[in-house]
Amino acid sequence: MKKVVVMFLCAMLTMGSISACGKSESDKNGKNTVQAQTEDKTTEENKTEDKAEDSDTEAKEEADKNSESSEMENPTEEEGQDAAGEESDMAEDMTMKVLKESAGTIDYTALEELNPEPGSHIAVVVKNTKSNFWATVKKGMTAAVKDLNEKMGYKGEDKIKISFEGPGNETDVESQINIIDAVLSENPSILCLAAIDMESCQPQVEEATLNGIPVVVLDSGVQSEQVNAICATDNYAAGTEAAKKMAEALGEKGQVAIMAHVETSESSQKRVAGFTDEMKNHPEIEIVNISYENEETSMSELAEAVLKLYPEVKGYYCTNEIATNNVLDIVNTSDKEVKVIGFDSGEKQIKAVKDGVELGMFAQNPYGMGYATIVAGVRADQGLENDAFINTGYQWIDSTSIELPEYKNYLYK
């Protein structure tokens, strides 16, 4: 049965029925570069206009039903310690040092200027609540809130609270919109948002701004001038470096494929663009396929079909943990030698790098990203200036560096 599925997928790939907007260099040379289809979605653009109280209730019920959420109104000392690890260790940790030195013109590890109102509610809506990346972001956020409560001496009902919500998977745009609507109906002090679709959240960002709720975006940008700051990895730069690493590993010659997360995500677009643009400088390397995560076909099925259709593929570039894990599964069960370069650093990737299956990975700084997002949100709420782009940094980690202690907190586990 599996063989039949693969044959069907290969037929789809050959006919070009799996497609996407981006093009590789081989397209310009008249070659059949295949891309995976991200199903066009329509979202309600103005759900927040003229909302009656009962529609707010419906949105909340829908969000509760379709999402996995976590609210931490008053994190205990133990919870805060778990989230932050040993405080002295994190203060001197490389992830926080990079954040302090490279984020921008402001120190986003410093709390001296911050005086949040007692009982403030920081609402966080992310792409999903299940991956190791987002779990580590949550740890950084929880640590920042704990530090703020300790600085202000807030206890009981005065404590700053944080809610952390998101859909079950990163393709569910509609559920994320419902969650944002429900969160805004609670009138939080600050909204921190990682959008699945960078164009879909504009009405929600506008509503938040009209109601005096500052919006700080993390991980992936939103097409809106009303966003106060974007706290993220320099995804284009990392994609560029990934292409250089791949070209070097392949001896500047061969076929490569790309497995990317949802195409509507800004982080996905920039990671792919950085890679494909840099590969133009390596003329003997051909990008034969770009596949995008979608609701119709799993990434493992797409990867299996790609390796069947393009048996000479020697390299696979993956733009996040989920994409990397799916490609690793297929490469591990095949008889092919394919050099895999991934983003993020989940447990399966850590093992793959140690075993020599994954060439290396671009580990983001989710802990620092979470911490800086909370600091930037509170600064925005107080009318303090933020950098428009807060660069949280990344690290290339391979078999030569994965055991080094300074990289320990770049590993998502």
How many angstroms separate the CA atoms of 375 and 380, rounded? 9
Average pLDDT over every residue of 31-45: 37
pLDDT level of residue 9 (50, 70, 90 thresholds): low
Nearest to 236 by CA among 250, 247, 221: 221
The share of the chain scoring above pLDDT 70, in percent, equals 78
Beta strands in 234-388, from DSSP E residues, in sequence order? 254-260, 285-292, 313-318, 339-343, 358-364
Q: Is residue 54's pLDDT more than 80?
A: no
Take residue 46 and report the two structure tokens written for it: 């103005």
Q: Is residue 51's pLDDT more than 90?
A: no
Average pLDDT over every residue of 73-86: 42
Residue 92: per-residue pLDDT:
62
Residue 304 DSSP symbol: H
Residue with tokens 């940008």: 221
209 bridge partner residues: none
Angle, CA 93 vertex, CA 91 and CA 96 arms, to 5°: 70
Q: Is residue 28's pLDDT more than 50?
A: no
The mean pLDDT value of the chain amounts to 83
- Bridge-based pairing of strands 67-72 and 161-167 is antiparallel
Of the listed ranges 89-98, 166-175, 232-241, the least confidently predicted one is 89-98
275 close to 239: Cβ distance less than 8 angstroms: yes
The share of the chain scoring above pLDDT 90, in percent, equals 67
289 bridge partner residues: 34, 257
Q: Determine if the pTM surpasses 0.75.
A: yes
18 close to 34: Cβ distance less than 8 angstroms: yes
* Residue 275: partners with Cβ closer than 8 Å, 6 or more residues away: 239, 240, 242, 243, 246, 258, 317
Residue with tokens 């529609």: 55
Of the listed ranges 10-14, 336-340, 372-376, 409-413, the least confidently predicted one is 10-14
Residue with tokens 């909204």: 191
Nearest to 195 by CA among 145, 138, 268, 131: 268
Nearest to 300 by CA among 263, 335, 327: 327
